[in-house]
Amino acid sequence: MTSAIIQSGISFIREKKSQGIDIKIPRKSTQIDENFSVKEIFDKKNAVVIENNGKLTTKKIDLTEEKSGFSYFLDGIEKKKILFYYRSIPVIYGYVAAVILKRTDKKMHSIDMEMTEENFYLPKKDGADSPEHYFSEEEVKNLGKNIVNIGKIPVNSANKDYPLLPEQFIQAAHNSIQGSRGHIEKALAKRWLSGNSQGSWLFIDGRLENKNKELISGSNIVGIIKSHHACYFDYEDQYKIYSMEKGERSSVFQPEGENIYSWYLRLHSDKRHGDNNFGLIRVEIPAEEEFLRKADLISSWILLETKPVAFPASRWDRMIYPIKYCEDYLKSKAPSWKVIDSLY
């Protein structure tokens, strides 16, 4: 499918090329984010172990129930592509979408809870001190209103400098796109929580809104983190986590300054292949005693969700099938790079 926003971008390219302006188009891509590269960030954080008198241990989870307690599943996707270079500045297209699907009688179906957002990301002049090579309003007006200005000084920047180079614009667009995805996922979760009067459970592929205690307080929600960019323990305790076998979990801990409890759980293991994170997820729940008492039960539900396996998803070892279904559902509605490439 091709949206009106993408069509406006293609028309813009053709218009500028016909005027002899320096426009370059990346080679045709077949992979999502093929020409998009950013650095992963690894953080060392502090945490307090809640169980076992403050000592981190591991334990085997017994499957005491035959059926998982999850019936709603939330996932989001993001697609980003350097659509073209205008005077060597990357103009980036970003698409984000999220959905909550319900499972009834083993079948996944829509409950009309989904959101999408798409924009162009580029540096635009918004004041007298903006760098001279940023785009003026007049230059990019034919792209339409869906423009996000990535030519801003980062809030946490120490030197208070504007981004100037293509790599900096790409990083800024990546951060903004991820922020948009998080925003619509949060909005969907909030809608679901406001209408959940039946005591159902929501499985979220991603972090909970951990600093918003009012939002998650008393809510039957569980967040699952598949990418481990934060380390909460020293080597000895971290080794205990990496050494867990399939079906084992760590002690529950609370990250410093956050309103969630968390623990690690191994969904799959392979003694001969894989890396430390193979099959390893981190679980988040609201930081409340009633949820803490259900850590084993919630872990058993997640383990029950590993059948059928979410193969051939790239991270099948850390993904459950209903989340793969949500992802496939969203991808089926997202713009196709092949369609975009054919329009040049």
Residue 311 confidence (pLDDT) above 90: no
Which pLDDT does position 26 carry in this prediction?
86
Per-residue confidence band for 344, with pLDDT thresholds at 50, 70 and 90? low
Mean pLDDT, residues 230-248: 96
- Vertex 253: Cα angle to 250 and 255 (nearest 5): 135
Q: Is 256 helix (H, G, I), strand (E, B) or coil?
A: coil
Q: For residue 155, what pLDDT band results from cuts at 50, 70 and 90?
A: confident
Q: Which sign does the torsion angle of CA 242, 292, 256, 259 carry?
A: positive
pLDDT confidence bin for 76, thresholds 50/70/90: very high
Least confident stretch, 78-87, 127-136, 154-163, 167-176: 154-163
What's the mean per-residue pLDDT of the chain?
90
Q: 271-275, 285-289, 330-334: which has the minimum mean pLDDT?
A: 271-275
Q: How far is CA 193 from the centre of its chain?
A: 20
Cα separation, 50 vs 228, whole angstroms: 20
DSSP line for 86-148? ETTEEEEEEEEEEEEEEEETTEEEEEEEEEEEEEEEE-B--STTS-TTSBPHHHHGGG-S-EE
Q: Give mean pLDDT, residues 61-84.
A: 94
Q: What pLDDT, on a 0 to 100 scale, did the predictor assign at position 195? A: 86
pLDDT tens, residue by residue, 41-66: 568 899 999 999 999 999 999 998 99
DSSP state of 213: H
pLDDT of residue 248: 98
pLDDT(32) > 50: no
What does the pLDDT look like over 200-216, one tens digit per residue?
Answer: 999 999 999 765 677 78
Check if the beta carbon of residue 314 is closer than 8 Å to that of residue 327: no
Q: What is the pLDDT of residue 240?
A: 97
d(CA 103, CA 320): 13
Upstream peptide bond of 123 is cis (omega within 30 degrees of 0): no
Burial class (CB in 10 A: 0-12, 13-18, 19+), 194: exposed
Q: State residue 64's pLDDT score.
A: 87
Amino acid 175: pLDDT: 92
What tokens does 187 get?
A: 């909005």
**What is the model's pLDDT at position 102?**
97
Instruction: Give the pLDDT score at 154.
Output: 78
pLDDT band at 3 (very low <50, low <70, confident <90, very high): confident
Residues with Cβ < 8 Å from 122, sequence gap 6 or more? 86, 89, 90, 91, 92, 135, 140, 147, 148, 149, 150, 151, 169
227 has pLDDT over 50? yes
Q: What is the mean pLDDT of residues 99-115?
A: 96
Q: How would residue 309 be classed by pLDDT, with cut points 50, 70 and 90?
A: confident
Highest mean pLDDT range out of 159-163, 222-226, 227-231? 222-226
